[in-house]
Amino acid sequence: MSTMSDVGAKPRGMARGGATSTQRAMKAKQTGRGGDSSWGGNDGGRFGGWPMPMAKVGLLVFMGVVTVLFSIIVSAYVARMGFADWDPLPEPRLLWLNTAVLILSSVGMQWAWVAADRGQRGSVQIGLLAGGICAWAFLAGQLWAWQQLNTLGYFVARNPANSFFYLITAVHGLHLVGGLVAWGRTTEKLWRGVDVSSSVQLCAWYWHFLLVVWLVLFGLMLST
């Protein structure tokens, strides 16, 4: 009888084990930890070596930190305006053109993102190139604006308002340069035939974020 029981118990144990394995496989699939999911090891599911969900979280956290940084700069800017030695400098008209170019850059990234979702590789290339070229043009325009101000005698250390202008534009420009590094890596992968749809999405997020930041900063400088 005991032998019969042992024989009967084994199939039940195996059935329980089989059910557990199946449940684990289903759970892995639901949580996105399978080999073909966005957590997997394919090139299309990674951004800078990070699995895409981790990259998205990392980017959101980074943008939160950058938001705090610029909030501190803006608060200091507003507080410093109340002192008697504050002498606002005239914003170069070139900044309006630079703003329009940055908007076009963001539009290009959005174009690439939409095209990537639709699987239109050619349009992704066009959008990425347009977005990147306009971003570089924006940075060149900012340097040109600096040159114009220096020619007129508005040097960094001459007045607190001057110092804040150069600080704000420099910090924003450095963050855009960082984005262009990611843009360059994404563009290079795209030309090698790698699926970069998720990376394009992150680039578009970051470009839109920097555009909003610049519009706030530009509006602040214009109003003061």
Q: What is the pLDDT of residue 192?
A: 92
C-alpha distances in angstroms, 84 versus 12, 58, 77, 88, 163? Answer: 86, 42, 14, 11, 15
pLDDT of 158 higher than 90: no
pLDDT of 180 higher than 90: yes
Tokens 């994404």, located at residue? 186
Cβ contact 80:160 at 8 Å: yes
Q: Which amino acid belongs to residue 169?
A: T
Q: What is the pLDDT of residue 39?
A: 24
Q: Over pLDDT 70: what percentage of the chain?
A: 77
Q: Can you tell me the distance from the alpha carbon of 127 to that of 182, in angstroms, rounded to the nearest whole number?
A: 15
Look at residues 188, 207, 191, 186 and name the one whose alpha carbon lies nearest to residue 46. Answer: 186
Q: What is the pLDDT of residue 55?
A: 85
Q: What is the pLDDT of residue 48?
A: 53
Model pTM score:
0.76
pLDDT of 17 higher than 80: no
CATH code of the domain made up of 51-223: 1.20.120.80
**Would you give the distance in Å from CA 198 to the centre of its chain?**
12
Q: What is the pLDDT of residue 1?
A: 45
Q: Can you tell me the distance from the alpha carbon of 188 to that of 141, in angstroms, rounded to the nearest whole number?
A: 25
Q: What is the pLDDT of residue 16?
A: 42
Q: What is the pLDDT of residue 58?
A: 93
Q: What is the pLDDT of residue 51?
A: 62
Q: What is the pLDDT of residue 91?
A: 86
Q: What is the pLDDT of residue 28?
A: 41
For residue range 22-74, what is the model confidence (pLDDT) as tens digits? Answer: 444 444 444 333 333 332 233 444 555 556 688 899 999 999 999 999 999 99
Q: What is the pLDDT of residue 49?
A: 54
Stretch 152-159: mean pLDDT, rounded? 90
- What residue spans define the domains of the chain? 51-223
Cβ contact 70:217 at 8 Å: yes
For residue range 95-134, what is the model confidence (pLDDT) as tens digits? Answer: 999 999 999 999 999 999 999 999 999 999 999 999 999 9
Cβ contact 203:84 at 8 Å: no
